[in-house]
Amino acid sequence: MKQQLVFEAPRRALPPRHLADLDATGRAAAVSELGLPAFRAKQLAHQYYGRLIADPQQMTDLPAAVRASVADALFPTLLTATREIECDAGQTRKMVWRAVDGTSFESVVMRYPRRNTVCISSQAGCGMACPFCATGQGGLTRNLSTAEIVEQVRAAAVELRDRDHGRLSNIVFMGMGEPLANYNRVLAAVRRITEPTGFGISARAVTVSTVGLAPAIRKLADERLGVTLALSLHAPDDELRDTLVPVNNRWKIAEALDAARYYAEATGRRVSVEYALIRDVNDQPWRADLLGKRLHGALGPLVHVNLIPLNPTPGSDWDASPKPVEREFVRRVRAHGVSCTVRDTRGREIAAACGQLAAEEG
C-alpha cells in the first residue's frame, strides 16, 4: 500500500501539562500558581531529574499537605507500560507504552559494555511513509508531548539504575516518528535531557535522526545544542531515494547534504549518515562508489556512514544484503575516504530493531 507523506500531525489533544513540559521559567510560574514559595520549583526539578521520582508522595522534602495538589497540577501519569519484552539475554528491552488517550508507542533500551542507550519515539506513528519501515506503514497518529518524550528517558534511567546498577549514557531519537516534524517539542525535550537542571546528559551523547527535512536541520544547527545529527539517506541517487524516502520528492539529496554540511560546520560535529542495506535495491557496487564520492564531496571528514542491515518488516519482500555484498559496499565507501561501519542489529526477534517499531497491541 502506498502511504501519503504527512507533515502536519492530526489535531489530537495532547496530554495534560507535566513538569517535564516546562523550562525553569515555566516551573517557577507553575509553582507560584500553586501558592508555593519559589524554591519549590528547584526542589521539584531536582526530585524529578536528579532522583528520577515522578510521584510527589515520594518527595520527602515536600510538605505532606501540598503533595496531592502538586501531583494534580504537575505530575499526571502520562505513560503506562503495557508490555516489556527482552532479548539478547536481557541486553535489549522494548517497552510498549500507552498514553492517557490510549495511543501506543515504543522505546528500546540497549545495554553495551561501555554505554547504555535508549532509543525513544518522538511521534506515535510516522508520516514519512518510507516503504521499508514498519512505523511508516502505519501512518501518523499524533505528535508526542515534550513530557511524553522525557518520560521515556526517565523510565529508561530508572530501569538501568534499579535493575542493572547502571547509568543511562546515550539517547537516540530513532524510535517511532520523525523528530524534526515535531520540532518544538523535540527541541524542548533535548533541552530537558541536556540541561544541568535537567538530566544533565552530554549533548554529544544525544542523537537526533531525520529523513532530511533540510530547513529544520539548519534551524537545529542554529540552536547550537551540539547534539549529534543522523541523516537517513539510504540511496546516493535521487531516482532511488524518491521511492525509498518519499520526502526526497520535496528536498533532494543535494539539499539534504547541504543542510548536513551546514550542521557539521556550525557544530563541529561529524554527521552520521544512515543507510539501510537492502538486497538488490540499494547495495550495488556503483551505488557504494557514488555514496562515497558524494559524501566525501559534501562533508569531507565530517561524516560517518552507519550501514544498517535491513530488518525485515511484515508484508515486505525486502531483505538484508548478503554479507559479501555488505563487505564490498563498506570497502568501496571507505576507498573514497569516508569512514563507514556496519551497525549491529539489536532486537530483531522482538520487533525492536531499526524500522520495526509498530506498537502492535499484543
Angle formed by the axes of helices 146-164 and 183-194, nearest 10°? 40
**Catalytic-labelled residue, pool 106, 148, 151, 274:** 106
103 near ligand SAH, judged by CB under 6 A: no
143 near ligand SAH, judged by CB under 6 A: no
Binding mask 342-361 vs ligand SAH (x if CB under 6 A, - otherwise)?
Answer: ------------xx------
132 near ligand SAH, judged by CB under 6 A: yes
- Write down the residue that cell numbers 527541541 correspond to: 187
209 near ligand SAH, judged by CB under 6 A: yes
Angle (CA) 282 340 187, round 5°: 90
Please say which residue, 145 or 209, places its beta carbon nearer to ligand SAH.
209
Binding mask 217-256 vs ligand SAH (x if CB under 6 A, - otherwise)?
Answer: ---------------x------------------------
Burial of 166 (0-12, 13-18, 19+ CB in 10 A): middle
**Is 106 an active-site residue?**
yes
Burial of 158 (0-12, 13-18, 19+ CB in 10 A): middle
Q: Is 133 annotated as a binding residue?
A: yes
308 near ligand SAH, judged by CB under 6 A: yes
CB of 313 to ligand SAH, least distance (A): 5
Q: Is 233 annotated as a binding residue?
A: yes
| DSSP codes of every residue in 59-82 | -TTS-HHHHHHHHHHH----EEEE
Q: Is 144 annotated as a binding residue?
A: no
CB of 228 to ligand SAH, least distance (A): 12
CB-based contacts of 210, cutoff 8 Å, min separation 6: 178, 179, 180, 216, 217, 229, 230, 231, 232
| CA 79 to each of CA 29, 30, 100, 342: distance values in angstroms, whole numbers, following the listed order | 25, 22, 7, 34
Site for ligand SAH in 268-287 (CB under 6 A): 274, 276
Q: Is 145 annotated as a binding residue?
A: no
CB of 135 to ligand SAH, least distance (A): 7
CB of 227 to ligand SAH, least distance (A): 14
Out of 174, 227, 253, 295, the residue judged to bind ligand SAH by CB under 6 A: 174
**Is 87 an active-site residue?**
no
| CA 48 to each of CA 28, 183, 333: distance values in angstroms, whole numbers, following the listed order | 15, 24, 45
Q: How far apart are CA 237 and CA 254, in angstroms?
A: 10
Give contact residues for ligand SAH (rule: CB under 6 A).
Answer: 128, 130, 132-133, 174, 178, 209-211, 232, 274, 276, 308, 310-311, 313, 354-355
Positions marked catalytic: 106, 354
- Binding-site residues for [4Fe-4S] cluster: 126, 130, 133
- Binding-site residues for S-adenosyl-L-methionine: 177-178, 209, 232-234, 311
